[in-house]
Amino acid sequence: MSKLFSNYKRAAVEFVKADGNFLIDTKGKRYLDFSTGIGVTNLGFHPQVTAALHHQADDIWHTPNLYQNSLQEEVAEKLIGDKDFLAFFCNSGAEANEAAIKIARKATGKQEIITFINSFHGRTFGSMSATGQDKIKEGFGDTVPHFSYAVFNDIDSVKELVSNQTAAVMLELVQGESGVQPADKTFVEQLAVYCKEQKILLIVDEVQTGMGRTGKLFSFEHYGIEPDIFTLAKGLGNGVPVGAMLAKSKLGEAFSYGSHGSTFGGNKLAMSAASATLDVMTASGFLDTALEHGHYLQNQLSQALLGNSSVTQVRGLGYMIGIETNKNLSKVVQAARDKGLIVLTAGVNVIRLLPPLTLTKEQIDKGVAILKEVFEETED
Ligand code: PLP
């Protein structure tokens, strides 16, 4: 009998090795990875990240935030460039969102935060309360007050919730967990303008959409906006746990000495992974190719699957793709796995693909061919 809680449903397979974009199980079977964990190993198992980790482990892997940390400075510099932002490092997406919620409240002196129905922001009390899905909160008692939930892609529903106590609006630009729903460009543009006019902070949760996932380093670049605060985790360390909250420098006073912290946040091992990840991702042409390949994957999937009566839509942004279907999702996932392809689900009727940005066209074609077979062969 397992001594672990049963809060996860685990498939009967264990991956014990990786080779680039392939996972290898205990029996030596190779699987093409279209999941990257859950949008984490965005570069696949990349030798440059492995080398950075080895190198850092040989030197020193942790120092507390009581001392200078040039690796944190380096990663902040690589993330921020010439934007007027400051960075705080932590260990996960939920922790990054907690920091975002805290800085927004403290910087404005207001408490209300508007998020969206079907959003997902994490499992801690603050981030769970921000999440616009009841099932995530069931049974845990009172949530953190002063969150309200607007209708995604509906600017009027945001305006209806705004009061003179509204500190911030927080959103994912592609709602990931609930079914890969991209935000409309006009809605995001209107929202950014409205928030600015009303002096409401705009927080973008880039935990899943960030770090190249959508073919840009941050998904807000697709929308031509700049949030006041944004959060990262998942792909930031390409698999090494690390999160970040970045906010405009003018909010910096709210996170002055003693106001917030994290023991492991920004530790040297995580920072070395993040730094190497960013070097690969920001190398000339890398993200352009990822964006182009992401479009190619989405087009190939549309061609291969839209003729299947169970598939109603293929949608997404870059390498964040949802296949809406009325097939039994677990059966699709298992059938794909049996054929050597790892995919995810999202919401109640979506097969979610979060492949490595390093997929070759050959690997894309291979994955699409497997999915075509799976959709043809799996019962509804
Ligand atoms: N925000 C978004 C958009 C996410 O997709 C997730 C995780 O799936 C989180 C926050 C929470 O991240 P973590 O599981 O690292 O706490």
Per-residue pLDDT tens digits for 162-197: 999 999 999 999 999 999 999 999 999 999 999 999
3-state class percentages of the chain: helix first, strand second, coil last, to nearest 5: 40, 20, 40
Nearest to 73 by CA among 237, 258, 274: 274
pLDDT surpasses 90 at 380: no
- The rounded distance, in Å, linking the Cα atoms of 35 and 106 is 37
Instruction: Give, using CA atoms, the residue closest to atom 12 of ligand 1.
Output: 93
Structure confidence at residue 66 (pLDDT): 98
Q: State which ligand 1 atom lies nearest to the alpha carbon of 92.
A: 15
Residue 46: alpha-carbon gap to chain centroid: 19
Mean pLDDT of 30-41: 98
- Write out pLDDT tens, residues 40-85: 999 999 999 999 999 999 999 999 999 999 999 999 999 999 999 9
97 CA to middle of ligand 1, Å? 9
pLDDT band of residue 304 (cuts 50, 70, 90) is very high
Structure confidence at residue 359 (pLDDT): 98
Structure confidence at residue 226 (pLDDT): 98
380 CA to middle of ligand 1, Å? 30
100 CA to middle of ligand 1, Å? 13
Structure confidence at residue 379 (pLDDT): 79
* Cβ–Cβ < 8 Å for 227, 252: no
Structure confidence at residue 255 (pLDDT): 98
List strands edge to edge, sheet with 311-317.
311-317, 320-325, 350-353, 344-346
Reported as type and span, the H/E element at residue 206 is none
- Write out pLDDT tens, residues 118-127: 999 999 999 9
pLDDT, averaged across the chain: 98
Nearest to 114 by CA among 171, 69, 153, 71: 171
Q: What residue ranges line ligand 1, CB within 6 angstroms?
A: 92-94, 97, 120-122, 172, 176-177, 205, 207-208, 233
Q: State which ligand 1 atom lies nearest to the alpha carbon of 172.
A: 3
Q: State which ligand 1 atom lies nearest to the alpha carbon of 209.
A: 3
* DSSP string across 336-354: HHHTTEE-EEETTTEEEE-
- Write out pLDDT tens, residues 252-284: 999 999 999 999 999 999 999 999 999 999 999
* Cβ–Cβ < 8 Å for 304, 371: yes
> For residue 129, which amino acid is it?
S
Q: Would strands 112-116 and 166-171 be described as parallel, antiparallel, or unpaired? A: parallel
What predicted TM-score, i.e. pTM, was given to this entire model?
0.98
